[in-house]
């Protein structure tokens, strides 16, 4: 067994990177988050997200079906908050409307598909991305493919327990938490970070 601590860093790590969970990366407890495989207080991870978004050349949000479709009460409000966050960070938005493996018909300029997310990242030269509203199993697949084949920095804003395979992962992300990250982005911009 390796004694080296596994770090979840931007790739390309290789064709088949290991699942971070299999390398000993555990999910955070409530109030905590993951930064590059290490458990940290949630606030620290939020600051890191704001920093990464503001310093990236081409940050992009990838909202998934849970956010793109107004399928239950509260989604529209959350969607608006995510749009505000993307605007504050100067990030583009590329949607993941569903999970059909539409290869090779996908247009990587305007959509992302979890089965080959690397195409969208390569095509648009994305160096930091944010997953939100993507069902856990598809987020896990996509995050691993991105880490394996690209140098993109991945951030997962997860409504459940978080994602080990993202470089930064928040858990239990709800409307107040999205707004909090937006505030941090605005504050850091005022402080001169961009």
Partner 1 sequence: MNKSLFKISPGFEDIMPAEYRELVEHGPYEKGFGVSDLGTFKELIEEHPLCAGCGLALSLRMILASLPKPEDTIIVGSTGCSSIAFPQVALHNIHSLFGNQNALASGLKRALKLRFPDKIKDVVVIAGDGATADIGLDMVMQSWFRRENITTIMLDNEAYANTGGQESGMSPQGTILNMAPTGKKFPKISLPEIAREAGCAYAAAVSPAHPKRLEKAVRRAILLAREIGPTYIQVFSPCPTNYKFKPHETIARIKQREKDGTFSIKEYISPEAQEWLAQIEEVKK
In the complex, which residues of this chain contact partner 1 (CB under 8 A)?
63, 67-72, 75-76, 79-80, 83, 93-95, 97, 100-105, 107, 110-111
Nearer to partner 1, 67 or 168 (CB): 67
Closest distance between partner 1 and the C-beta of residue 173, in Å? 16
Nearer to partner 1, 41 or 101 (CB): 101
Closest distance between partner 1 and the C-beta of residue 135, in Å? 14
Closest distance between partner 1 and the C-beta of residue 129, in Å? 15
Nearer to partner 1, 107 or 179 (CB): 107
Nearer to partner 1, 7 or 80 (CB): 80
List Cα–Cα distances, 13 to 16, 82, 94, 126, 134, in angstroms.
8, 29, 24, 17, 23
Is residue 101 packed enough to be buried (19+ CB in 10 Å), middle (13-18) or exposed (0-12)?
exposed
Q: Which two tokens stand for residue 43?
A: 């606030």
Contact 91, 53 (CB under 8 A): yes
Nearer to partner 1, 60 or 184 (CB): 60
Closest distance between partner 1 and the C-beta of residue 102, in Å? 5
Q: Which of 59, 32, 28 is nearest to 127 (CA)?
A: 59
Q: What are phi and psi of 53, to 5 degrees?
A: -65, -40
Closest distance between partner 1 and the C-beta of residue 84, in Å? 9
Separation of alpha carbons 158 and 172, rounded Å: 6
Nearer to partner 1, 28 or 63 (CB): 63
**Could you give the angle at the alpha carbon of 134 between the alpha carbons of 133 and 136, nearest 5°?**
120
Closest distance between partner 1 and the C-beta of residue 12, in Å? 26
Separation of alpha carbons 53 and 194, rounded Å: 9
74-99 burial by CB neighbour count: b if 16+ within 10 A, else e?
eeeebbebbeebbebbebeebbbeeb
């Amino acid at each position: 067994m390796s004694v080296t601590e596994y770090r979840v860093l931007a790739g390309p790590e290789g064709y088949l990177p290991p699942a971070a969970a299999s390398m000993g990366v555990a999910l955070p407890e409530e109030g905590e988050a993951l930064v590059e495989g290490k458990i940290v207080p949630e606030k620290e991870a939020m600051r890191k997200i704001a920093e990464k978004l503001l310093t990236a050349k081409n940050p992009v949000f990838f909202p998934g079906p849970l956010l793109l479709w107004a399928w239950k009460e509260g989604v529209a409000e959350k969607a608006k908050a995510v749009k505000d966050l993307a605007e504050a960070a100067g990030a583009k938005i590329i949607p993941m409307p569903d999970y059909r493996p539409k290869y090779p018909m996908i247009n990587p300029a305007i959509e992302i598909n979890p089965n080959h997310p690397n195409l969208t990242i390569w095509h648009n030269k994305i160096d930091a991305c944010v997953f939100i509203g993507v069902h856990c199993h598809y987020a896990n697949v996509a995050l691993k493919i991105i880490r394996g084949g690209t140098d993109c920095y991945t951030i997962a804003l997860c409504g459940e327990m978080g994602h080990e395979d993202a470089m930064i992962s928040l858990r239990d992300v709800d409307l107040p938490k999205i707004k909090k990250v937006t505030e941090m982005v605005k504050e850091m911009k005022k402080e001169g970070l961009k």
